[in-house]
Amino acid sequence: MRRLRWDHPDRERRLPAHPYRDSAVLYGALAVVVVIVAVATGGGLARALVFAFLAFVLATGWSWLTWRRREREERIRKAESGE
């Protein structure tokens, strides 16, 4: 039985040029969309801002931790291979 894998373990993936900045910009844009949708549908602006800010902080923090882990794994892999 074959399993669907989004990420092949042998495939080398390069890190983006600015992963931290790109993540913050993406989640910032999504936070703005949350606020716009909330206000457009009659929700409270203050509540939308709080939820959007919390979502931004959590999502950005999680992606930054993931990027740090990938960078560390890549450094270890390079050190082991002697590059």
pLDDT tens-digit map of 13-39: 677 889 999 999 999 999 999 999 999
CA atoms within 13 A on the CB side of 22: 6
pLDDT at residue 55 is higher than 60? yes
Q: What percent of the chain has pLDDT over 90?
A: 64
Both structure tokens of 67: 């990027």
- Report the predicted TM-score, pTM, of the whole model to 2 decimal places: 0.76
Cβ pair 45, 39 in contact under 8 A: yes
Handedness of CA 57, 62, 65, 70 (dihedral sign): negative
Mean pLDDT of the chain: 88
